[in-house]
């Protein structure tokens, strides 16, 4: 039923657009100069809708139409990296807000002095995963550090991971014998326990080596359910990556996804620029990007993926 609903929405979009174009052509054929301003406005609106529709056609993956789970991990750079992870979290939340998507912070771990060590967020809305998969990888920040007394330039790194959040739409078989579940006390950045009971949950999936944890919910049952939801999403993504690597091997391609290979650099000093190293797309309006203006980067990535 969910697949049917999505397909009806997709077909409905193109049918409505076709009808709107037909209506606009009929008005144009009247050759009434008083209607010209309205026709020009309608033409602009139709062009924007067409661009949106063509952009959606780039999202043809099996999970592209669905929701996403995003995770951010502070990397090398100490407090600056944890602050950078917090800035990235804000950037993605702002982007989701622009899209009208719903967001839910599933898990987060605050840094010792500032920022966050990690955060996991569910982002729901049409094509959320299709758009956000372009953001997976290492993001690099260069700036004058606000945490350095000498105000020197620092380079910080953060890793962004992305998985499709399919809920109950796709059944993922997980053998209870292949997971190890641990419970622990949820804690704050200062190490003090928020509660005496062990409500936080950590799950180790032995075959894949994947470990997920959740401590944001009030009960152990809720945290376990959320952790299993994240684990299933990661396993689906793992299978997707295996298929991609197999195709790349057949095509003779090799891509090193090591930690040091950042996908994008955000430079605040000595000049201002954001550059995506995969596509070459760049902009000098760093603040707009940090405020969630990511669509141009996502579009450039998707077009490059299909060879345009």
Chain segment 48-83, per-residue pLDDT in tens: 888 878 777 888 777 888 899 999 999 877 899 999
Pairing state of beta strands 137-144 and 210-214?
A: unpaired
Highest mean pLDDT among 88-97, 168-177, 179-188, 251-260: 88-97
Query: Do residues 160 and 298 both lie within one domain?
Result: yes
What's the pLDDT score for residue 149? 78
**Residue 255 forms part of a structural domain:** no
Query: Do residues 273 and 244 both lie within one domain?
Result: no
CB contact at 8 A, 28 and 41: no
Query: Do residues 148 and 93 both lie within one domain?
Result: yes
Widest CA span in the chain: 76
**Position 195 confidence tier, pLDDT thresholds 50, 70, 90:** low
**Position 143 confidence tier, pLDDT thresholds 50, 70, 90:** very high
**Position 291 confidence tier, pLDDT thresholds 50, 70, 90:** very high
- Of 158-172, 198-212, 246-260, 265-279, the range with the lowest mean pLDDT is 246-260
CB contact at 8 A, 122 and 165: yes
Mean of pLDDT over the chain: 84
Given a cut of 60, whether residue 253 has pLDDT beyond it is: no
Query: Do residues 82 and 111 both lie within one domain?
Result: yes
Query: Do residues 160 and 239 both lie within one domain?
Result: no
State yes or no: cis peptide before 143, omega within 30 of 0: no
**Residue 200 forms part of a structural domain:** yes
CB contact at 8 A, 120 and 230: yes
Of residues 252 and 59, the one with the higher pLDDT is: 59
**Residue 284 forms part of a structural domain:** yes
**How far apart (Å, rounded) are the C-alpha atoms in residues 164 and 136?**
12
**Position 192 confidence tier, pLDDT thresholds 50, 70, 90:** very low
CB contact at 8 A, 105 and 123: no
Query: Do residues 6 and 22 both lie within one domain?
Result: yes
Query: Do residues 91 and 160 both lie within one domain?
Result: yes
**Residue 256 forms part of a structural domain:** no
**Residue 88 forms part of a structural domain:** yes
**Position 170 confidence tier, pLDDT thresholds 50, 70, 90:** low
CB contact at 8 A, 138 and 159: yes
> What domain range is 95 assigned to?
67-170+261-305
- Of 11-20, 132-141, 214-223, the range with the lowest mean pLDDT is 214-223
Query: Do residues 53 and 76 both lie within one domain?
Result: no
Query: Do residues 157 and 24 both lie within one domain?
Result: no
**How far apart (Å, rounded) are the C-alpha atoms in residues 189 and 111?**
6
Query: Do residues 163 and 293 both lie within one domain?
Result: yes
Q: Which long-range contacts (CB under 8 A, 24 or more apart) does 188-194 make?
A: 188/110, 189/109, 189/110, 189/111, 189/112, 190/112
Query: Do residues 79 and 153 both lie within one domain?
Result: yes
């Amino acid at each position: 039923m969910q697949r049917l609903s999505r397909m009806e929405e997709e077909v409905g979009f193109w049918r409505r657009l076709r009808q709107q174009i037909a209506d606009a052509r009929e008005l144009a054929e009247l050759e009434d100069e008083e209607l010209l301003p309205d026709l020009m406005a309608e033409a602009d609106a139709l062009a924007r809708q067409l661009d949106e529709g063509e952009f959606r056609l780039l999202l043809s993956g099996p999970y592209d139409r669905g929701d996403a789970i995003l995770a951010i991990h502070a990397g090398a750079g100490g407090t600056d990296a944890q602050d950078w992870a917090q800035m990235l979290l804000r950037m993605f939340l702002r982007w989701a807000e622009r899209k009208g998507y719903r967001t839910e912070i599933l898990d987060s771990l605050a840094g010792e002095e500032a920022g966050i060590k990690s955060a996991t967020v569910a982002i729901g809305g049409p094509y959320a995963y299709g758009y956000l998969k372009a953001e997976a990888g290492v993001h690099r920040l260069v700036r004058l550090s606000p945490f350095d007394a000498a105000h020197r330039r620092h380079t910080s790194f953060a890793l962004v991971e992305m998985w499709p959040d399919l809920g109950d739409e796709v059944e993922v078989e997980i053998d209870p014998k292949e997971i190890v579940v641990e419970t622990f006390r949820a804690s704050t950045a200062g190490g003090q326990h928020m509660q005496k009971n062990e409500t936080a949950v950590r799950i180790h999936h032995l075959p894949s080596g994947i470990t997920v944890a959740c401590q944001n919910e009030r009960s152990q049952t809720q945290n376990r359910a959320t952790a299993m939801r994240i684990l299933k999403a990661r396993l689906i993504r793992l299978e997707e990556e295996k298929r991609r690597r197999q195709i790349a091997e057949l095509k003779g391609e090799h891509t090193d996804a090591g930690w040091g290979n950042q996908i994008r650099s955000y430079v605040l000093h000595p000049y201002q620029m954001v550059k995506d190293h995969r596509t070459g797309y760049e902009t000098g309006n760093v603040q707009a990007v940090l405020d969630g203006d990511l669509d141009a980067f996502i579009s450039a990535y998707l077009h490059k993926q299909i060879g345009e």
